[in-house]
Structures are given as C-alpha cells and as structure tokens.
C-alpha cells in the first residue's frame, strides 16, 4: 500500500505550478502526519482546536497549521497564535472577534473568508452578496490585527461535476470582483478550493490552494469524542 508521502508525491506531480497543498490531517495519527512531513509536506489542516493544539505541541515546529473547521467562539482565544491561518472565517462577527483577540495577544492573524456557494444548507460561510457588501463598504479597513488573505469555499457534495464547476467558478469570479472593487487590497491572493474528490475541477477554476485529506491519508479513522 502506498504511504501518505507517496500519495502526496503523486498528487503534487499532477497539480499545476503554483498550487499549494494543505494536507488535511484531522483525526489522523501522528505517525501518518510524520510520514507526510518526511516527504516534505509542511502545511497541514485541522478542524478542531483541541486536536490542532495537541498535535502542534508534539510535532515539528516548522509545520504550518491551517485551521479549516467551524470556529466555536469559546475556543477562539486558544487558537489565536497557533494557527498559521484560519481558513474558515464564516461571519463578520467572528472576524471582529479574531481581530480583538489577536490585538489582545499581540499577534496578526491571517484569515480566509469562507464563501457559501454549495446547495447544502449545512455548510457555513458568507453568502456572495454579504461579501460584496462587506468589501463594497470597505468594512475591513478598521481591522488592526487581522490580514484577509483570500477566500475559501467548499462545493456541493455531488457527482454532478458541472454543478461543482459552476460553484468554483462563482467563487473565482467573486474574488475578481472584490479585487476590482478594492484594488488597494494587499495580499488578497489565496483561493482555497478543492478536496480529495474535486481538486482537479477546483484548480481548473483557478484554485491555488487545495485541502486534501483522504486522497493522501486514506479514509479517516472515526473521530473519538
């Protein structure tokens, strides 16, 4: 059976130049993560605050931890300063809290704004319209300790590849619109789209950061409570 490092190598070789891989290591063992690490992988994605902190403490310090799960506000303070980027900022309220907590901790937090384009209502995120209003109104201007680095999105979980493509394209054109509205935005250049089943569609639509879990590590063990 292929190891995580071998699967990563295979995936890397198929991706267009300039596309980053975030290896989604949620619920995976330290050994599996270390295998990928030894293969050169440095960006890993976690969806729970406690799990990220535990792994961060034990694993090599040059790993960049991407937080990709829904942030519960009561756990936010523990996350600040430990995630290299929070990809899953899904409301303006959370953004304000991140700014306040980052200021308090004396750090700058990098974030992506999560856009909801999937048909499923279970997914989190800003609607495209909310984001247009947010940037049109330049409401990011008062943020002091938060750097918005781009957008993150998940497509509908479906076999309908045209639907997936339509959703990813919507996010890519929203990014273009935002940059047109706010040409002075600095470092707004990450488009995080694509998971194990749809990353090739995502990169063809302009994604430059894919979040891949099971295609690297195999099926996830069931999380313990």
Residues of the shown chain interacting with ligand PLP in the complex, contacts defined by CB under 6 A:
24, 26, 47, 68, 154, 195-197, 211-215
If the CB atoms of residues 143 and 209 are measured against ligand PLP, the closer one turns out to be: 209
State the greatest distance between any 2 C-alpha atoms of the chain, in Å, as a whole number.
Answer: 53
SS (H, E, C) 153-185: EECCCCCCHHHHHHHHHHHHHHHHHHHHHCCCC
If the CB atoms of residues 188 and 199 are measured against ligand PLP, the closer one turns out to be: 199
* Nearest Cα residue to 154 out of 81, 213, 108, 222: 213
Minimum CB separation of residue 200 from ligand PLP in Å reads 12
> Which tokens hold the place of 94?
């959370």
Minimum CB separation of residue 223 from ligand PLP in Å reads 11
If the CB atoms of residues 108 and 214 are measured against ligand PLP, the closer one turns out to be: 214
State how far the alpha carbon of 136 is from the alpha carbons of 30, 50, 131, 143, 182, in Å. 44, 36, 8, 15, 8
Minimum CB separation of residue 214 from ligand PLP in Å reads 4
Minimum CB separation of residue 14 from ligand PLP in Å reads 15
If the CB atoms of residues 111 and 195 are measured against ligand PLP, the closer one turns out to be: 195
């Amino acid at each position: 059976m292929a190891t995580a490092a071998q699967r990563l190598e295979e995936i890397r070789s198929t991706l267009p130049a300039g596309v980053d891989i975030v290896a989604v290591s949620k619920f995976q063992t330290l050994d599996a993560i270390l295998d990928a690490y030894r293969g050169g992988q440095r960006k890993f994605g976690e969806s729970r605050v406690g799990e990220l902190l535990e792994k961060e403490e034990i694993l090599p310090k040059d790993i960049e931890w991407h937080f990709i799960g829904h942030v519960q506000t009561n756990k936010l303070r523990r996350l600040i300063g430990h995630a290299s980027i929070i990809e899953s900022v899904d409301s303006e309220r959370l953004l304000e809290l991140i700014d306040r907590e980052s200021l308090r901790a004396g750090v700058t937090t990098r974030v992506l704004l999560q856009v909801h384009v999937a048909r499923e209502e279970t997914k989190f995120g800003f609607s495209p319209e909310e984001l247009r209003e947010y940037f049109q109104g330049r409401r990011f201007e008062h943020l002091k300790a938060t750097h918005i680095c781009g957008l993150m999105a998940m497509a509908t979980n479906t076999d309908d590849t045209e639907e997936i493509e339509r959703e990813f394209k919507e996010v890519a054109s929203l990014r273009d619109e935002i940059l047109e509205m706010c040409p002075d935005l600095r470092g707004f250049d990450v488009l995080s789209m694509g998971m194990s089943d749809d990353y090739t569609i995502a990169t063809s639509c302009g994604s430059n950061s894919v979040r891949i879990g099971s295609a690297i590590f195999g099926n996830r063990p069931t999380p313990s409570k």
